[in-house]
Chains A and B, each alone.
Chain A
Amino acid sequence: MSDDRFDAIIVGGGIAGTVTAYLLAKEGLEVMLVERGNYAGSKNVTGGRIYSHSLEKIMPGFAQEAPVERKITREKISLMTEESNVTVEFSSTRLGEQGSDSYSVLRGVFDQWLASKAEDAGVQMVTGIRVDDLIVREGKVCGVIAGEDELEANVTILADGVNSLLAQKLGYRGELAPHQVAVGVKEIIELSAEVIDNRFNCREGEGTSWLFAGIPSAGKVGGGFLYTNKTSISLGVVSTLSELIKANKTLPQMLEDFKSHPSIEPLLKGGKMMEYSGHLVPEGGFHMVPKIIGDGVLVVGDAAGFCINLGYAVRGMDFAVGSAECAAKAVLKANKAQDFSAGFLQCYQSFLDESFVMKDLKHYRNFPHFLEETPRIFNGYPGMAADIMTDLFVVTGNPPQPMMKMMMKHVKNMGMLNIAKDGWKGVRSL
């Protein structure tokens, strides 16, 4: 055994990678983390908000210290058409209780903080280095190759994100399929904290999460999102690739139209665009999880497809943390036994199965399919909701119709059976 071999090498300085590295170094393992960007987070994009439960377990009270943006205490979901927007709003102190709290975050900032925690725990961080391939001997992964350099480790952890070219190179999965991933495009729009507090009716330090179905993704599977940060708004559109390619406008155009929607534009007034970004989201859920365990190797986070998009909530970051914890537990066990074979590392799968990661992925396994099979959610119901509201609120001087009759007219247009079927299927897939 060579002396310069690490106990573990982690590829990728996102949430999954930094948390795995932190947990292993904390227990005294020699760990190296390799990130291709100039700093952890420099390549990473989220919506987004992190549900704190999983990181809270690892770093209790992290939100007091970490550079989180705002605590989310207001949830909104909207059905949006070109001219209208029907919104349901939920605000509750329950949303902010420790353990079930969630925070808007900016990854360029947040991941650097996580990386600094990992470094404090003893992780050797190497940034600005792209891992090109893995050292594989007789089917066993023995480390990483970057340019001319080779670095060896007992175990290598792939935390290289949704594209995971390394998992593809290992043959653990093929190319992603267009129905398994969505592309997100997002702008950061700067506004003062005070303006945000006022426009979104937020207390200081508290904020809003707002998701939209309908016109933002041009009536295709996907939607719009808005999160309030301390002194900026994250605004974006997400669209599933297999559907997006059928659209009659470009993705950047969808974002532009969303921004200029009458119910969005006033919220952004006077704001300055600070950054424009794009990133893939794994949305296939349970069915897209590839091979994640091999001799001397584990796959975590987005690279393993651990993410779900429920329309009213997106969850990838808490899964990144949860899978990191399971991987770290497995590696610590393997390190004790000095057995890094695929057989021994199967305990990673058991830890995942016992954790919320697999339980939740399994629970929602039919949901992505339901969305794909139910285009009415994106191109039917937003219009129906808008029509009903229009009849309710728009006073023209024409004789009013009885409410029941008015509602039934719109329901009939959509088809009573369709609505019943979609509702039944939707609820069952949740």
Chain B
Amino acid sequence: MTIVNTVNVDQKLGIDKFHVDEGNAHIVLKKDKIDMQEYQKLMIACPAGLYKIDENGNPQFDYAGCLECGTCRVLCGKTILEKWEFPQGTMGIEFRFG
């Protein structure tokens, strides 16, 4: 199944205010081979569109634009995620409107 996505979510995230905890990822994917069927769920459901595929079809994920919703943990916490925490205090997304 092809999943339609023509939106540039990164551009939208660029408007948000983040305090990125550099070098301290609060969400980490498992190191071993990722089950792509599971990964696809996150490609559809992550509101920040952070679960991407690179040119070679490999998973590419960056925690920096995370909105801390919890969707990926609920869907794949037991399958392809190694770790899901809230960022440390003061870090991460900061909603001005919310």
Contact = CB atoms under 8 A, between A and B. Distances in A.
Contact of B12 (A107, A165, A276): A276
Contacts of B31: none
Q: Which of A46, A250, A255, A275 has the most CB of B within 10 A?
A: A250
A146 to B, nearest CB: 7
B3 A256 contact: no
Interface string A226-254: 00000010000001010011011111110
Contacts of A43: 68, 92-95
A79 interface: no
Interface in B32-64: 40-41, 43-49
B6 A106 contact: no
Interface residues of A, number: 54
Contacts of A175: 73-74, 77-78
A278 B16 contact: no
B98 A107 contact: yes
Q: Which of A37, A44, A244, A275 has the most CB of B within 10 A?
A: A37
Interface string A102-124: 00001111010000000000000
Contacts of A275: 15-16, 95-98
A-B pairs with lowest CB-CB distance, top 8: A278-B47, A107-B98, A108-B98, A249-B4, A128-B90, A278-B67, A185-B47, A276-B12
7 contacts: A41-B95, A42-B98, A248-B2, A250-B4, A274-B15, A275-B98, A277-B98
Interface of B: 1-7, 9, 12-13, 15-16, 19, 40-41, 43-49, 67-71, 73-75, 77-78, 85-90, 92-98
A146 B47 contact: no
A275 B5 CA distance: 20
A107 B97 CA distance: 6
B75 A245 contact: yes
B45 A241 contact: yes
Nearest to B12: A276
A60 B30 CA distance: 51
Given A130-B89, A276-B16, A256 B71 contact: no
A46 B97 CA distance: 10
Contacts of A278: 47-48, 67, 69, 71
B7 A256 contact: yes
Q: Which of B3, B78, B93 has the most CB of A within 10 A?
A: B93
A46 to B, nearest CB: 7
A273 B15 contact: yes
Contacts of A42: 94-95, 98
Contacts of B97: 106-109, 188, 232, 274-275, 277
B42 to A, nearest CB: 9
A241 B4 CA distance: 18
DSSP class of B's interface residues: helix, strand, loop or mixed? loop
A407 interface: no
A44 B95 CA distance: 7
A183 B7 contact: no
Contacts of B70: 162-163, 176, 181, 280
Q: Which of A41, A129, A245, A248 has the most CB of B within 10 A?
A: A245
Contacts of A247: 3, 44
Interface string A335-347: 0000000000000
A127 B87 CA distance: 14
Contacts of B2: 248
Contact of A250 (B44, B74, B85): B44
A295 interface: no
Q: Which of B3, B16, B74, B92 has the most CB of A within 10 A?
A: B74
A31 interface: no
A46 B74 contact: no
Given A108-B97, A187-B12, A245 B44 contact: yes
B89 A277 contact: no
A109 B94 CA distance: 12
Nearest to A281: B69
Given A42-B94, A183-B47, A245-B41, A280 B71 contact: yes
Contact of B44 (A108, A251, A277): A251
Contacts of A253: 4-7
Interface string A13-50: 00000000000000000000000111001111110000
Given A41-B98, A245-B44, A250-B4, A183 B86 contact: no
A116 B60 CA distance: 42
B98 A45 contact: yes
Contacts of A36: 86, 89-90
Contact of B67 (A38, A177, A277): A277
Nearest to A164: B70
B36 to A, nearest CB: 13
